[in-house]
């Protein structure tokens, strides 16, 4: 591993019951399920190998519960940052995609026509999410030059950052896989940001849940 590079470790929170049921969570404060707690206990080893000096965290419970074992193992406090929260799903929270299509046909049509700009009823658009997530990311990059920072966040938020760094259109960010409990690592080089690790989940091998 090259030393003295600015690195940001992106950890997606571990599993919840709504992840298992494929329900949109957004800002709904859902805790980890039993498997999620076991996944969280596996995270300190791969994250510690990058020697982070700080842990940033979404304020939602599922992120805090994921980050707690990291905080304890690394003896680092959890620093909350609202900008790392998941997208605001508004009235879509708690629904599956099929239920959204049935109950919100106008939004579904807007989403198909312009995925990045369609605003969820009472919530955010993908563009709004990406703007605040990249703002948080580049603030860390500027303020933590040469350091390693771990960020515990959410699937939609992490995909938005990765899409921005990789110049992937927001309409295509579904192609980026970011599993529960995964670790992705970005580092700053003279040519720009590069992906050192994407959706690493080897630490979760052997874990099973219903």
Q: Domains in the chain and their CATH numbers?
A: 7-87+126-204 (3.40.50.1240)
Identify the CA nearest to 15 among candidates 196, 197, 178.
178
Q: What is the pLDDT of residues 100-149, one digit of tens each?
A: 999 999 999 999 999 999 999 999 999 999 999 999 999 999 888 889 99
Residues 94 and 191: their CA atoms lie apart, in Å, by 42
Classify 25 as helix, strand or coil: coil
Helices (H), 3-125: 17-20, 34-42, 44-48, 61-74, 97-103, 105-113
pLDDT at 176: 96
Instruction: Give me the average pLDDT of each 10-residue run along the chain (210 residues).
Output: 81 98 97 98 97 97 98 96 98 97 96 95 97 96 90 98 96 96 96 95 89
Q: How far is it, in rounded angstroms, from Cα 103 to Cα 149?
A: 41
Q: Is the pTM of this model over 0.85?
A: yes
């Amino acid at each position: 591993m090259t030393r003295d590079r600015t690195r940001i470790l992106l950890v997606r929170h571990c599993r919840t019951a709504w992840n298992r049921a494929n329900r949109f969570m957004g800002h709904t404060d859902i805790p980890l399920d039993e498997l999620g707690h076991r996944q969280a206990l596996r995270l300190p080893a791969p994250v510690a190998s990058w020697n982070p000096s700080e842990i940033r965290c979404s304020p939602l419970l599922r992120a805090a519960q994921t980050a707690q074992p990291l905080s304890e193992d690394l003896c680092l406090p959890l620093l909350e940052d609202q900008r790392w929260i998941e997208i605001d799903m508004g009235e879509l929270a708690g629904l599956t995609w099929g239920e959204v299509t049935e109950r919100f046909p106008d939004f579904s049509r807007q989403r198909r026509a312009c995925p990045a700009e369609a605003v969820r009823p009472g919530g955010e658009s993908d563009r709004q999410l990406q703007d605040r997530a990249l703002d948080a990311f580049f603030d860390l990059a500027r303020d933590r030059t040469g350091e390693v920072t771990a960020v515990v966040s959410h699937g939609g938020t992490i995909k938005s950052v990765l899409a921005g760094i990789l110049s992937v259109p927001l309409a295509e960010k579904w192609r980026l896989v970011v599993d529960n409990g995964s670790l992705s690592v970005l580092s700053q080089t003279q040519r720009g940001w590069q992906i050192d690790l994407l959706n690493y989940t080897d630490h979760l091998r052997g874990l099973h849940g219903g």
